[in-house]
Amino acid sequence: MDDARRSNNVLRALSLWTRRQWLAAAGFTGGFGLLVGVSTVIIPNSMFSREIPTLWWDYPVWIVTSLLAGLLAATYVRPTPVGEQAKVTKRDARAGRTGAVGAVLAWFAVGCPVCNKLALLALGYSGALHGFGAAQPFLAVLAIALSGIALVVRLRGQISCPVQNAASARGVHV
């Protein structure tokens, strides 16, 4: 399948979303953005502190990954609240895991390198600052790529195997 057809399938899947799915996407995007933004102090708050200032690229990475995570989560929302449960395929499960890894990598990518207890314990202060800090842009790119791939896989799956409600599957028109 060529790239133009793939992108058409993704756009077609998005065009078929219901208001319920778009509202879920907005809610998930906001929730993910708040969770990551507050915990990494991209959004200044009194609950957490940050020793290393936020870098310029933290903001676009935070926004893009929040959007991708919100859209990805909304692919799991049924178009209507009634009907049979959709069958989850192995491809869907892989896409979900890929998206989850992307979300975790995004959190590591935009967080303070020396505030991360795992990096601090494993690498020490200097290693966390210079080693882990230097790796964060690569984590950001990987996070966006994995989240994007997971979203495309889920959206393409909605076109190739659309969810039907129970009445239309039996041929009953309401």
**For 9-29, how does the pLDDT look when each residue is reduced to its tens digit (9 = 90+)?**
888 889 989 999 999 999 999
pLDDT over 70 (residue 81): no
Instruction: Report the pLDDT value the prediction gives residue 34, as an integer from 0 to 100.
Output: 97
The first and second tokens of residue 137, run together, are 């842009």
Largest CA distance in the chain: 67
Q: 113: which 2 tokens? A: 């390198």
Residue 7 clears pLDDT 70, i.e. is over it: no
pLDDT band at 30 (very low <50, low <70, confident <90, very high): very high
Please state the rounded mean pLDDT for residues 105-113.
88
pLDDT mean across residues, the chain? 84
Percent of the chain predicted with pLDDT > 90: 43
Q: Count CB neighbours of 134 within 10 A.
A: 10
CA 63 → CA 23, 34, 37, 69, 70, distances in Å? 18, 10, 9, 10, 11
116: which 2 tokens?
């991360």
Q: How far apart are CA 80 and CA 14, in angstroms?
A: 15
Q: Are 45 and 106 in contact (CB under 8 A)?
A: no
pLDDT over threshold 50, residue 174: no
